[in-house]
Structure 1
Amino acid sequence: MTRTIELKATPTLGPILAKAAATGFVRKGRTLPDVRVVQHGVRIDQGALAAYDQVCGFPVTHLVPSTYLHVLVFPLQVSLMADKEFPYPLMGSVHLSNTITQHRRVDALEVLDIEVRVDNLRPHFRGAQADFIATVKVGDEVVMDEVSTYLFRGQKVPGEVPLKADEPEPADGPGVTWALTADLGRRYAAVSGDVNPIHMHPLTAKALGFPTTIVHGMWSKSKMLAAVENRLPERYTLSVEFKKPVLIPGKVKFVAGETATGWNLVLRSAREGTVHAVGTVVSAGADGSIS
């Protein structure tokens, strides 16, 4: 029987991350828990939304970017990963990809119901991966679906390990260069609640195996969406795969190529050309199907 964890308020993520880190070494399960995390009656803080818009490059309006709905989903994801029945350590997990389907624009005054569950545990050549599936509703209407795939490094699960695929080089061409400041990780953490130490300071990032601070993958996705959102229909699916960490401070180049159904998006290092993220936006029909 599915167990439900109902959050009465949005949790502060710092204590949850600390608890998850402290209990990570005792997590030894092999199966995903049959549990869902829900939060009803979520109201958007318009000041917090405006601050997020400014950090990510969206115009400040009463409409909610679909990636900001991820910000509301994220505490439920973390709560599920920190649950005692979740088999893998939260610290050290890697966000591999994120897919958001926006069914319609959400107004900042609307009241939301959010649900998150986890499914599809499978091998990865670097460990185990699973999908965190979120649904955001206004009343009975689904306004956004999301699938976030996370890697749990070094973990073993039954099944054939997929080989690392040789992927084609994403298209390059004229684009826009963004200069990323050293405090970008802290600024995005302040508007998203994601205070993972790898994003906060060079010393804590180095302690966790990175040469310096890295920017949040979801900031990259949000910034790419902000660059093309005014050319998108109300209903779309935006998928992004996170390839290489973006070290800050630094410069990245964003390239967007229009297709018959939407856009191809690429984020590269402005200096070396290293691919940091690749994505697609496709228009969705009224029933959520891809057109």
Structure 2
Amino acid sequence: MPTDTIELASTPVLAKVFAGAVASSRGRTGQAPLPDLKVRQAGITVDVDALANYDHVCRFPLLNELPSTYLHNLVFPLQATLFADKRYPYPLMGSVHLSNRLTQHRPVLLTEELTLETWAQNARPHRAGVQVDVISRGYVGQELVWEGLAVYLYRGQKIAGDVPEKVDSGDGVDGPGAIWRLPGDLGRQFSRVSGDVNPIHMSALSAKAMGFPTAIAHGMWSQAAMLAALDSRLPAAYVTQMEFRKPVTIPGTVKFVAHPGGQDGSWEMSLRNLKKGTELVRGSVRQLT
């Protein structure tokens, strides 16, 4: 656990945080170690209108319980503050979200006041750069109610160590599923409810400037939409893991497949390119006991 803490009195304005991160990107060479630094904010309450807009874009019903992905949405400004800090060695712009694991220890109510915190650890080699674990936690009072583990890739960066071999994990679930047509402005829609204005999501032109052939959907939109499709069938306490295996290009058409894993509330999920059948996102839900 980091010993140095940035205590936020209010939620930072993400546009300013991103502007600062962009301005300092050239100076981030990846040569320094990850900082012994945590970002924390207490007294967080949920804005009902902001939640309703998020739910609309991600296809959740508006309930008195927060989607587990919305807790990630609330902690993202803290993550961005961490990434923009001058001690953080890797540039925010052009980073790629590889996977995301969320643990919901119990449903979090719309009316509950939250304390959120986040920090980074375990920088290690990846065949395309450096990957880092970003840990997040959510509390109601002293009770741990939610946890997140996001793995980010910083392309083109280098760090000492052996690059792990690529492991063939086979193919995920397939078969009949729901057809989703994703509009070209989906990245901009999600950016308005999440604050994540990474250029790779905003337009084909800005994505190409970052080395991508076209715009891609946010990984957190994919995770949210996949969980929203199962919303009424999710356990009260669960762990969900998503691997963002290939970019979900927008506009595009995808197929969502979900198979129940038995009586324990588990699910296996897959998001696939409709024409090619390529697996884009692989997900799972496991009930906490």
Give the alignment's TM-score, normalised by structure 1: 0.95
Q: 1:212: Cα distance to partner?
A: 2.3
Aligned in 2, Cα 1:154/1:209: closer, same or farther, shift over 3 Å?
closer
Deviation at 1:161, TM superposition (A): 1.1
Name 2:59's counterpart in structure 1.
57
8 Å CA contact 2:121–2:132 kept in 1: the answer is: yes
Q: Indicate if the aligned counterparts of 2:240 and 2:286 stay in contact, CA closer than 8 A.
A: yes
SS in 2 for 1:157: coil
Task: State the SS of the aligned residue for 2:62.
Answer: coil
8 Å CA contact retained: 2:94, 2:198: no
1:275 matched to 2:279: yes
Note the aligned Cα RMSD (angstroms): 1.2
Q: CA deviation at 1:90?
A: 1.1
Q: Give, as a single letter, the amino acid of the residue that structure 1 aligns with 2:25.
A: G
The answer (yes or no) to whether the contact 2:94–2:199 under 8 Å persists in 1 is no
Q: Please give the per-residue CA displacement for 1:155-179, whole angstroms capped at 9, x wherever unaligned.
A: 2222221011222011211110011
Deviation at 1:11, TM superposition (A): 1.2
Please say if residues 130 and 149 of structure 1, whose CA atoms lie closer than 8 Å, have aligned partners that are also in contact: yes
SS of equivalent residue, structure 1 residue 204: helix
Structure 1 range deviating more: 20-29 or 174-183:
20-29
Cα distance between partner residues in 2 of 1:223 and 1:245: 15
Gaps of 5+ in 1: 286-291
**Structure 1 residue 25 corresponds to structure 2 residue 26:** yes
Q: Which residue of 2 aligns with 1:172?
A: 174
Q: Secondary structure at the match of 1:107?
A: coil
Which residue identity does 1:274 align to in structure 2? T
Post-superposition Cα deviations, 1:90-122, rounded to whole Å, max 9, x if no partner, equal 112111100000011111111000010111111
Equivalent position amino acid for 1:103 in 2: H
**CA distance in structure 2 between the aligned counterparts of 1:100 and 1:108, rounded to whole angstroms:** 18
Q: Percent identity?
A: 52
Instruction: Look up the match of 1:213.
Output: 215
**Aligned-partner residue type, residue 121 of structure 1:** A
2:109 maps to amino acid: D
Aligned partners of 1:160, 1:182: CA distance in 2, in Å?
39
Look up the match of 2:8.
7
Corresponding residue SS for 2:192: helix
CA displacement, residues 173-196 of structure 1 (integer Å, 9 cap, x when unaligned): 111001111111111111111111
Name the SS of the counterpart of 1:19 in structure 2: helix
- Kept after mapping to 2: 8 A contact 1:104/1:235: yes
How many matched pairs?
285
Equivalent pair of 1:30/1:157 in contact (CA under 8 Å): no
* The 10-residue stretch of structure 1 (233-242 or 148-157) with the greater mean CA deviation from structure 2: 148-157
Counterpart for residue 80 of structure 2: 78
Q: Deviations over 1:25-49 (max 9, x none)?
A: 2123331100000001001000100
Matches within 5 A, 1:105-120: 105-120=107-122
Instruction: Provide the residue aligned with 2:255 in structure 1.
Output: 253
Q: Tell me, in whole angstroms, the C-alpha distance in 2 between the residues paired with 1:25 and 1:163.
A: 30
Q: Using the TM superposition, name which of 207-216 and 179-188 deviates more.
A: 207-216
How much does 1:210 deviate?
Answer: 2.3
Q: For residue 138 of structure 1, report the CA deviation from its aligned partner.
A: 0.4
Of residues 121-130 and 230-239 in structure 1, the stretch that sits farther from structure 2 once superposed is: 121-130
2:159 aligned partner, one-letter code: V
1:82 Cα deviation after fit: 0.9
Residue correspondence of structure 1 range 173-188 to structure 2 within 5 A: 173-188=175-190
User: Which residue number corresponds to residue 264 of structure 1?
Assistant: 268
Task: Please say if 1:151 is aligned against 2:153.
Answer: yes
Once the two structures are TM-superposed, the CA of residue 8 in structure 1 deviates from its matched residue by 1.3
Instruction: For residue 236 of structure 1, report the CA deviation from its aligned partner.
Output: 0.2
What secondary structure sits across from 1:4 in the alignment? strand
Unaligned residue ranges in structure 2 (runs of 5+): none
Contact 2:135 2:149 in 1 (8 A): yes
Corresponding residue to 1:191 among 182, 190, 193:
193
Contact preservation (8 Å) 2:240, 2:283: yes
In the alignment, which residue of structure 1 is the partner of 2:104? Answer: 102
Secondary structure, aligned partner of 2:229: helix
Q: After TM superposition, give the deviation of residue 233 of structure 1 in Å.
A: 1.2
Q: Using the alignment, how far apart are the partners of 2:173 and 2:226 within structure 1?
A: 16
Mapped to 1, the partners of 2:188 and 2:254 lie a distance apart of 18
- Runs (4+) of structure 1 exceeding 6 A deviation are none
